[in-house]
C-alpha cells in the first residue's frame, strides 16, 4: 500500500467483504488490525468512506439502531465494483505489501490471496526483516562506549522482535509451500 489512504481502503474493502458494517464497528475492527496505538479517528475514516462511496466501491443503507436511540445507522456494504477491486488488490504484490503497515493489513486478509502470492509476500517480508536484523546487529556491535543505555536496549529489543518474526515467517512459508 503506497499510502495510508490506500492501506485504509484495502482494510475497509476486506472488512466489508466479510459482511456489511456501520462506521463505529468498522473503526473498532480497524483498530484491532492496526493496533491500539495507531490513531484512527472518525475524521479519517468517514472521508475515506465518502471517497469509496463516490468511487462506487461501497454502498450505504440505513438500519435502525436497535438501542435506546431512535437514530438509524448508516450501514456500508461492498458493491460489485468494490468486490472486484478487493480481489484485484489481494492479487497485487509489490514491495509495499511486505513493509510494516502494508504487511499487517495484507496479512489480516490473507485468505482470499492466492497461495502463490501469499508465499511471495511472506518471502518479501522475510527478506526485509533479515535486512533490518543485520542493520540492528551491526549497530549493536559497533555501539560507541557511553551510548544512551535506553537506545541500546531499544535496538536489542528491536533485533529480538525481528528475529522472532523471521522464525515465524519461515514456519509460515514452509506451511504455505506444502
> Greater confidence, 155 or 67?
155
Residue 64 grid cell: 435502525
Coil/strand/helix, residue 21: strand
pLDDT, tens digit (0-9, with 9 covering 90-100), for 46-66 = 999 999 999 999 999 988 765
The Cα-based distances of 75 to 26, 65, 78, 165 in angstroms read 10, 10, 10, 37
- Residue 64's Cβ-count burial label (10 Å; 0-12, 13-18, 19+) is exposed
Q: Which has more confidence, 19 or 71?
A: 19
Q: Is the pLDDT confidence value at 173 over 90?
A: yes
How far apart (Å, rounded) are the C-alpha atoms in residues 15 and 27?
A: 10
141: Cβ contacts below 8 Å, ≥ 6 apart: none
Predicted local confidence at residue 68, as pLDDT: 55
Instruction: Give me the pLDDT at residue 67, please.
Output: 57
φ, ψ at 3 (rounded to 5°)? -135, 170
Using one digit for the tens of pLDDT, what is the confidence trace for 85-127?
Answer: 999 999 999 988 898 878 988 999 999 999 999 999 999 999 9
Distance CA 23, CA 157 (A): 36
pTM for the complete prediction?
0.82
Mean pLDDT value of segment 27-53: 86
Q: Over 60: is that where the pLDDT of 38 sits?
A: yes
Amino acid at each position: 500500500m503506497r499510502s495510508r489512504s490506500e492501506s485504509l481502503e484495502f482494510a475497509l474493502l476486506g472488512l466489508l467483504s466479510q459482511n456489511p458494517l456501520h462506521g463505529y464497528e468498522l473503526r473498532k475492527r480497524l483498530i484491532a488490525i492496526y493496533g491500539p496505538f495507531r490513531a484512527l479517528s472518525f475524521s479519517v475514516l468517514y472521508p475515506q468512506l465518502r471517497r469509496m462511496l463516490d468511487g462506487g466501491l461501497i454502498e450505504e443503507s440505513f438500519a435502525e439502531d436497535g438501542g435506546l436511540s431512535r437514530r438509524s445507522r448508516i450501514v456500508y456494504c461492498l458493491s460489485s465494483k468494490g468486490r472486484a477491486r478487493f480481489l484485484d488488490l489481494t492479487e497485487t504484490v509489490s514491495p509495499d505489501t511486505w513493509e510494516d503497515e502494508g504487511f499487517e493489513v495484507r496479512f489480516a486478509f490473507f485468505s482470499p490471496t492466492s497461495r502463490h502470492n501469499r508465499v511471495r509476500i511472506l518471502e518479501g517480508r522475510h527478506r526485509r526483516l533479515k535486512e533490518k536484523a543485520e542493520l540492528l546487529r551491526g549497530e549493536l556491535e559497533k555501539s560507541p562506549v557511553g551510548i544512551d543505555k535506553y537506545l541500546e536496549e531499544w535496538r536489542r529489543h528491536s533485533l529480538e522482535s525481528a528475529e522472532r518474526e523471521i522464525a515465524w515467517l519461515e514456519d509460515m512459508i514452509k506451511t504455505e509451500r506444502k
